[in-house]
């Protein structure tokens, strides 16, 4: 066991810290283990006190956070940084199919007044929403944002109030 460094701003096994994953629970060291657990009950972390790092080993690759004395900073993950050109891919992925569908609806318009004249509009909207949904899901996966844990813990806190 590490000894307390006599300051509450350092990461040590005596302290209680906000959970970097759900951001709502608190993490504290598990008894007899050099590990932290969140009181949301789900997340277990290992710590590197020398580097003031917290690691979530159940994620692959492991997620890390750096304790700066006040809050957690997301550690750098190899190949997992969001680059500016990713936005180009996102916009392209959503806009290109939508534009193609819109273009074909424009070139081959439905007969006005026919039963299916509303179809191209719905089709364009669906293409947009579908691709937006796919991109949103990919972004959640990219950041490994624990969406369901977050929802569950917020809901529980709401009920406890």
Yes or no: say if 99 and 81 are a contact pair by the CB < 8 Å rule: no
Query: Of residues 11, 12, 17, 22, which one binds Zn ion by CB under 5 A?
Result: 22
Q: Please tell me whether residue 11 binds Zn ion under the rule CB under 5 A.
A: no
Asked whether the beta carbons of 36 and 28 are under 8 A apart, the reply is yes
Which of the residues 127 through 156 are near Zn ion (CB under 5 A)? none
Question: What is the Cα–Cα distance from 159 to 36, expressed in whole angstroms?
Answer: 26
Min dist CB 72 to Zn ion, Å, is 11
How many residues line the site for Zn ion (CB under 5 A)? 7
Q: Which stretch binds Zn ion (CB under 5 A): 22-30, 82-90, 91-99, 106-114?
A: 22-30
Q: Tell me the C-alpha distance between 145 and 143, whole Å.
A: 5
The verdict on 38 binding Zn ion (CB under 5 A) reads yes
Task: Tell me how far apart the alpha carbons of residues 26 and 138 are, in angstroms, rounded to a whole number.
Answer: 28
In the shown chain, the binding pattern of residues 48 to 87 toward Zn ion, with x for contact by CB under 5 A and - for none, equals ----------------------------------------
If the CB atoms of residues 58 and 104 are measured against Zn ion, the closer one turns out to be 58
Closest CA to 19 of 67, 88, 52: 67
Report residue 116 as tokens: 């299916």
User: Binding residues for Zn ion, per CB under 5 A?
Assistant: 19, 21-22, 25, 38, 40, 43
């Amino acid at each position: 066991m590490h000894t307390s460094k006599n300051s509450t701003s350092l990461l040590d096994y005596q302290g209680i810290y906000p959970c970097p994953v759900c951001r709502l629970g608190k993490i504290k060291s598990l008894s007899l283990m050099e590990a932290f657990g969140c009181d949301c009950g789900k997340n277990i972390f290992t710590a590197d006190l020398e580097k003031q790092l917290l690691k979530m080993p159940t994620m692959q690759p492991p997620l890390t956070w750096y304790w700066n004395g006040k809050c957690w900073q997301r550690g750098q993950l190899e190949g997992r940084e969001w680059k500016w050109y990713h936005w180009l891919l996102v916009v392209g992925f959503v806009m290109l199919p939508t534009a193609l569908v819109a273009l074909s609806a424009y070139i081959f318009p439905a007969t006005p007044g026919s039963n299916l004249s509303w179809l191209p509009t719905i089709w364009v909207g669906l293409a947009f929403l579908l691709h937006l949904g796919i991109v949103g899901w990919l972004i959640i996966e990219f950041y490994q944002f624990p969406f369901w844990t977050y929802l569950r813990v917020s809901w529980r806190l709401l009920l406890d109030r």
